[in-house]
Amino acid sequence: MAIPLASRTVLAAAAVLALASSPAAAMAQTQPARPLAALGFMAGCWRGDAGTDKTIEENWTAAGSDVMLATTRYLDDNTGRTRGWEFSRIVADSGRINLIPAPDGQPQGRFRLTVSRPGEARFEDPTHDFPKRIIYRRVDPRRMVIGLDAGPDDREAREYRMQNVPCPTPAP
C-alpha cells in the first residue's frame, strides 16, 4: 500500500523533530564552543631565563572557553624582586582570535592569530612598534619557546626558552 505524499512529509518532519530533540542533539547544542582549543599547548606554568640576572614566569589558564588569561612577571635574580609584570588575554571574538598584552597593566596592541599549527601559534600586529610578532612554540612536553620580533629578519629579536614548572599553590 502506498503512503500518500502528505503523510510521508508529516512522517519525515516528525522523524527530524525526534532526532533534533534526542539527548545527543541536546548535548551537542549545550556543549560550549572551544575556539581556543588549538592553543591548549600554552596552558600551564612556565619559567625561563630573561637575560642578565632576570627570570621570566608566565602562567596561562586552560583553553576551555573563548578566553585565556595569563600573568607574567620578570624577577631580579639577585634580589628576588619583581622588575616588570604583565597581564595578557587571548580572546576569540567575531571570528578572530587576538592576543592582548598589557605590560604594567596598560594594553599594548592587539595581536591577531595568523598561524596556528599543532604546538605553535603566531600573533601579529603590524601597527605595533615592538614587537610586531609574538610566537609561542612548544618544543616538547616540558619546554616552550616564546619569540618576540619585528618580523622574520629582525636582528634584535628576543627568545625566551621556558620550562614547564608546577603552578604555585597557596601556603597552608
Q: What value does the mean pLDDT take over residues 110-135?
A: 97
Per-residue pLDDT tens for 43-71? 999 999 998 899 999 999 999 999 999 99
Per-residue pLDDT tens for 9-42? 444 444 444 444 444 444 445 545 689 999 999 9
Q: What value does the mean pLDDT take over residues 133-140?
A: 97
Domain spans of the chain, in order of start: 1-31, 37-165
Task: Tell me the pTM.
Answer: 0.79
More confidently predicted of 7 and 54: 54
Count of beta carbons in the 10 Å neighbourhood of residue 99: 23
Distance CA 82, CA 117 (A): 33
Instruction: Among 3.40.50.2300, 3.65.10.10, 3.30.565.10, 2.40.128.20, name the CATH number for the domain at 37-165.
Output: 2.40.128.20
The dihedral sign for the CA sequence 122, 126, 128, 131: positive
pLDDT at 95: 85
The dihedral sign for the CA sequence 145, 159, 155, 108: positive
- Unique residue bearing C-alpha cell 522523524: 15
Per-residue pLDDT tens for 78-99? 999 999 999 999 999 888 999 9
Assign 3-class secondary structure to the chain. CCCCHHHHHHHHHHHHHHHHCCHHHHHHHHCCCCCCHHHHHHCEEEEEECCCCEEEEEEECCCCCCEEEEEEEEEECCCCCEEEEEEEEEEEECCEEEEEEEECCCCCCCEEEEEEECCEEEEECCCCCCCCEEEEEEEECCEEEEEEECCCCCCCCEEEEEEEECCCCCCC
